[in-house]
Chains A and B, each alone.
Chain A
Amino acid sequence: KAGVTQTPRYLIKTRGQQVTLSCSPISGHRSVSWYQQTPGQGLQFLFEYFSETQRNKGNFPGRFSGRQFSNSRSEMNVSTLELGDSALYLCASSLGSGGAPNEQFFGPGTRLTVL
């Protein structure tokens, strides 16, 4: 079974631009979560999508948004980029159903650099 894939792996943008990152979950997984990883703040939860609906949201400004498609692939968008948005963005997929939280499988991440 193929793992979680993220594209692109590296991205360089300038302040004020917008960016879209993509995540393809493991086949059969319906939940996709996004995390931002920085040296200062560590790993922070952005949002989770399940069956095309945002199920949970972290404490990030509205410039960060996402969506999920019917095939469970997910995209996240950051508008009006700021220098502080430079980070490794990790996507994780899981089955997403059942009472207990399922194991999350992480992708390799997209390294975003904002100049």
Chain B
Amino acid sequence: AQTVTQSQPEMSVQEAETVTLSCTYDTSENNYYLFWYKQPPSRQMILVIRQEAYKQQNATENRFSVNFQKAAKSFSLKISDSQLGDTAMYFCAFNDGGSQGNLIFGKGTKLSVKP
């Protein structure tokens, strides 16, 4: 069974600085999909970034980028120029590509951005 592990329950960062959130996963699949979701205090979860395992190039979305290390089964999220609005729970998620709507989530990292 696939598992997703986020080893940092809580993190904090100063506004405008850079922070990296860690995620490791375990799977025997070769082709799969990885996601980072953000859940602000208002509770509505939104997609931050996604990565297809067959793509070697790391995904980037504005201030958010990932470091995808397939051999190490590692998928970290880097947030540059942190903003107060980045304060949220961040969840790493895995999909095996064989089922559309089934995401396996890590336990999450609570990120606080301090002014």
Contacts and interface: CB of A to CB of B under 8 A. Distances in A.
Interface stretch (B21-29, B42-50, B60-68, B77-85): B42-50
Contact of B47 (A44, A88, A90, A103): A103
Given A50-B100, A104-B101, A109-B43, 12 more contacts: A32-B101, A42-B108, A48-B101, A55-B99, A58-B102, A94-B101, A96-B101, A100-B52, A101-B97, A101-B101, A106-B46, A108-B42
A103 B46 CA distance: 9
Main DSSP-derived SS at the B contact region: loop
A105 B45 CA distance: 8
Count chain A CB atoms within 10 A of each CB in B33, B42, B105 and give the residue with the most. B105
Contacts of A103: 47, 50
Interface residues of A, number: 31
B97 A100 contact: yes
B44 A108 contact: yes
A109 B91 CA distance: 16
A103 B37 CA distance: 10
B103 interface: yes
Of the candidates A32, A100, A108, the one having the most CB atoms from chain B within 10 angstroms of its own CB is A100
A100 B100 CA distance: 7
B102 A33 contact: yes
Nearest to B4: A42
A82 B43 CA distance: 24
Nearest to B37: A106
Interface of A, secondary structure class, is: strand
Given A42-B107, A100-B52, A101-B33, A55 B45 contact: no
A78 to B, nearest CB: 19
A101 B100 contact: yes
A43 interface: yes
Which of B50, B97, B102, B107: most chain A Cβ within 10 A?
B102
Given A42-B105, A56-B101, A96-B100, A101 B95 contact: yes
B47 A33 contact: no
A67 to B, nearest CB: 15
B104 interface: yes
Interface string A8-42: 00000000000000000000000111010000001
